[in-house]
Amino acid sequence: MKKMGDVLIEIIQKLRDAEIASATGPTVVVPIPYLFAIANSLEKSTITPEAFKEFIGEIHNSLIRLDSARRSALFRIIRFCLQGTLHVKLFIQEELHWIVIATLEKDPSVEFNVERIQALKIIDRVRRFAGDIFPIGFARSLVAIANCKEDNFRRLCLDSLRELALVNPSIVGTVGGFTTLLDAVLDPISSESAEKILHSILFLLNDPITRKILTPCIDLKILVRFTMFSSSYLIFSYSSPLSPI
């Protein structure tokens, strides 16, 4: 049975072979089913930081050149390789987060939905394992899409931004994320997310430390007025609203 590190090396070699063959003849690509099968095998496997570092150091250019479907598959592989803070640090050092941001901010059409969802899942994975070193570029990207009412990823980014606020409220405040979240609460279009967002904001306001971060960012008068007229919050639980990934 192959070690997972050897599997990652095999992917690198196949990508290299395809690139070399395409340079001297007809275009050769790595089969999509192969990439997704590898990704599925990695889901419950342990990847060492050393193996991950070698892998991401070699696939940077491939992520830029490959078509949407294969980039989606590589994103899925990367996501399952992100298994702890050290893996996330290596991911950021290699500056792969900029490719993820560029993908998530692509034109909101069905054509790019698969790779955009994989990009968002990487962002959520980074938040899960290393919320304290969450790239500010990720946070800005979430806010930008959450502010775009025409983007079909708006609700997903609102949910991701809300959960980020619970683990790193400082970065959300820095990028204006709390204004975005409160605007969504007051927006009938995003009514599905309003309850969770309000729950999260009130949870943060209940803690003196995080309250200092929020109060300069949101209009408390609007928040109080909304909660007074919402029967859902007349009886409020301060248990953590953070959902697992």
Q: For the chain, where are the alpha helices, taking DSSP H only?
A: 4-24, 32-42, 49-65, 68-81, 85-93, 97-104, 113-130, 136-146, 154-167, 169-174, 177-186, 191-205, 208-214, 220-228
Residue scoring higher pLDDT (2 or 56): 56
The percentage of residues in the chain with a pLDDT greater than 90, rounded to a whole number, is: 49
Mean pLDDT of 92-120: 93
Cβ atoms < 10 Å from Cβ of 197: 23
For 171-227, write each residue's pLDDT tens digit: 999 999 998 998 888 888 887 888 899 889 888 888 888 888 877 666 555 555 555
Cβ atoms of 182 and 222 closer than 8 Å: yes
Long-range Cβ pairs for the range 190-197 (8 Å, 24+):
190/154, 190/155, 190/158, 192/155, 193/155, 193/158, 193/159, 193/162, 195/232, 196/159, 196/162, 196/241, 197/158, 197/162
- Whether residue 2 is predicted with pLDDT greater than 60 in this model: the reply is no
Look over the chain and give the mean of its residue pLDDT values, rounded to a whole number: 85
pLDDT at 214: 79
Tell whether the model's pLDDT for residue 87 goes beyond 80.
yes
Domain boundaries, the chain: 1-133, 135-245
CATH architecture for residues 1-133: Alpha Horseshoe (1.25)
Distance between CA atoms of 244 and 92, rounded to whole angstroms? Answer: 23
CA dihedral angle for residue 47, residue 50, residue 51, residue 55, rounded to 10 degrees:
120
How far apart are the C-alpha atoms of 80 and 96, rounded to whole Å? 15
Confidence of residue 108 (pLDDT cuts 50, 70, 90): confident
Check residue 12 and give its pLDDT. Answer: 87
For the segment 83-103, the average pLDDT, to the nearest whole number, is 96
Q: What is the pLDDT of residues 33-79, one digit of tens each?
A: 999 899 988 888 899 999 999 999 999 888 988 899 999 999 999 99
pTM (2 d.p.): 0.85
Crossing angle (nearest 10°) for helices 154-167 and 177-186: 130
Contact between residue 104 and residue 123 where contact means Cβ atoms under 8 Å apart: yes
Sole residue written with tokens 């943060």 = 204
Tell me the pLDDT tens digit for each residue of 122-152.
999 999 999 999 999 999 999 999 999 899 9
Residue 235's pLDDT band, with cuts at 50, 70 and 90, is very low
Tell me how far apart the terminal alpha carbons of the chain are, to the nearest angstrom: 29
Q: What is the pLDDT of residue 110?
A: 77
What is the pLDDT at residue 26? 63
Residue 233 has pLDDT above 50, yes or no: no
